[in-house]
């Protein structure tokens, strides 16, 4: 009697793309090592005031919620919240100039340890004293809570039986320190064997490799275009919010499974889109002078005790408006006029600001 073919064991795969500006999570339950892309389900529900989106802002706040009971992360922030932004990049601070900048900012925020300032603070900062790894852990804990809600079909009893793999994307050239911090933050947030007793792998894979495999499979499976051939090479540029990674790949196999291999050393730099935002803020400081800290971004001046990037209400409103202009910008774009938020909406500074409006040439 012929032996029955072995049926591949079904497993749960959790994919996490924790980005500098946005985060996405998806799940799949493949039998074996292959799953159709159409069977990959992104998490879309993130609770009240978040909407149904496949990506959520990588933002968290330790400010108290208002009467509206905001979640204080993602898009659910109270109006007066101090939002922690760009925290992912703080996991990988290793450049000497970055370290020196952190020290200078800390001393500014602590008023050079002036005795009266220390006494007035009563020993506690006015926002979180936590380091980047702990802030990332707190953010990922909130992500984890909604992941568990999304996979509620997988009860504790079932999770004790089904194999689980967790795949996390990281930038190319991510330092050992940053990888370790990412791993620790994830495991302490709940992505661990206590939650998934049969956790087999926790994989940290380069973001461009994940993007390359997905893009090639998407074009083939969902668009019906097999634009790659075995032996061909292609270059992938993954331009994100914090980092930009470039890598060249060679196609090893198309069938039965799509396989690629890197043929050059990966190149990655911190030069993503948030650095346009940071440059815009620096330009605004020069344009507005003292008004920048007094009226637009007092949070940075008053509460700056570390290298954390934060945004208050007015700055969030302004950066949202700037984002719209930024995405519309083209090579032949003309002069742009932008309105400043309250309390700068009626400000006039000679010819620099007229009636609360600034000009971006």
d(CA 345, CA 320): 16
- At 7 the pLDDT is 53
Residues 41-45, mean pLDDT to the nearest whole number: 91
Residues 9-13, mean pLDDT to the nearest whole number: 84
Under 8 Å CB-to-CB from 166, ≥6 apart: which residues? Answer: 13, 14, 15, 16, 186, 191, 196, 199, 201, 202, 203
- At 124 the pLDDT is 45
Residue 284 Cα distances to 28, 73, 307, angstroms? 45, 26, 20
d(CA 242, CA 326): 16
pLDDT tens track for 205-226: 989 888 888 888 888 776 666 6
Of 256 and 103, the structure prediction assigns the larger pLDDT to: 256
Provide the token pair at 355: 């009636």
d(CA 61, CA 72): 5
Residues 319-339, mean pLDDT to the nearest whole number: 88
Name the average pLDDT for the chain: 83
- At 259 the pLDDT is 83
pLDDT over threshold 70, residue 127: no
- At 58 the pLDDT is 95
pLDDT tens track for 187-199: 999 999 999 999 9
pLDDT over threshold 70, residue 307: no
CA quadruple 239, 240, 244, 246: dihedral, nearest 10:
-50
pLDDT tens track for 311-324: 888 899 999 999 99
Provide the token pair at 267: 């190149």
Q: According to CATH, what is the number of the domain 8-228?
A: 3.30.420.40
Residues 221-236, mean pLDDT to the nearest whole number: 80
Q: What's the pTM value of the predicted model, to 2 decimals? A: 0.84
Label residue 303 by pLDDT band (50, 70, 90): very low
pLDDT over threshold 50, residue 347: yes
Q: Which of 98-112, 137-151, 221-235 has the lowest mean pLDDT?
A: 98-112
pLDDT over threshold 90, residue 173: no
Of 16 and 34, the structure prediction assigns the larger pLDDT to: 16
Contact assessment for residue 131 and residue 326, using Cβ atoms and an 8 Å cutoff: no
Domain coordinates in residue numbering, the chain: 8-228
């Amino acid at each position: 009697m012929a032996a029955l073919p072995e049926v591949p064991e079904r497993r749960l795969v959790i994919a996490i793309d924790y980005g500098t500006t946005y985060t996405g999570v998806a799940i799949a339950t493949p039998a074996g090592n292959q799953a159709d892309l159409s069977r990959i389900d992104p998490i879309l529900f993130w609770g009240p005031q978040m909407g149904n989106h496949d990506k959520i802002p990588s933002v968290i706040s330790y400010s108290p919620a208002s009467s509206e009971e905001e979640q204080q992360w993602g898009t659910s922030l109270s109006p007066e919240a101090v939002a922690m932004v760009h925290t992912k990049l703080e996991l990988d601070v290793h450049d000497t100039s970055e370290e020196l900048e952190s020290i200078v900012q800390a001393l500014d925020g602590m008023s050079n340890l002036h005795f009266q300032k220390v006494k007035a603070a009563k020993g506690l900062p006015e926002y979180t004293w936590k380091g980047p790894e702990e802030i990332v852990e707190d953010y990922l804990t909130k992500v984890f809570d909604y992941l568990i809600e999304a996979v509620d079909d997988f009860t504790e009893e079932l999770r004790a039986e089904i194999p689980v793999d967790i795949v996390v994307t990281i930038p190319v050239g991510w330092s050992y320190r940053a990888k370790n911090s990412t791993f620790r933050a994830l495991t302490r947030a709940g992505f661990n064997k206590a939650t998934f007793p049969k956790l087999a792998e926790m994989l940290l894979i380069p973001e461009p490799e994940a993007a390359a495999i997905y893009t090639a499979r998407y074009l083939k499976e969902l668009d019906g275009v097999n634009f790659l051939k075995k032996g061909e090479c292609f270059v992938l540029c993954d331009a994100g919010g914090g980092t930009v990674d470039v890598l060249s790949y060679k196609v090893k196999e198309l069938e039965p499974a799509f396989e690629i291999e890197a043929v050059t050393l990966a190149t990655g730099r911190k030069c993503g889109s948030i650095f346009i935002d940071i440059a815009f803020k620096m330009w605004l400081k020069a344009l507005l002078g003292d008004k920048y800290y007094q009226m637009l971004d007092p949070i940075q001046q008053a509460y700056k005790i570390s290298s954390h990037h934060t945004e208050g209400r007015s700055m969030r409103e302004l950066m949202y408006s700037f984002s719209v202009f930024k995405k519309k910008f083209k090579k032949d774009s003309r002069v742009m006029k932008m309105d400043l938020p309250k309390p700068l909406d009626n400000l006039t500074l000679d010819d620099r600001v007229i009636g609360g409006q600034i000009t971006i040439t």
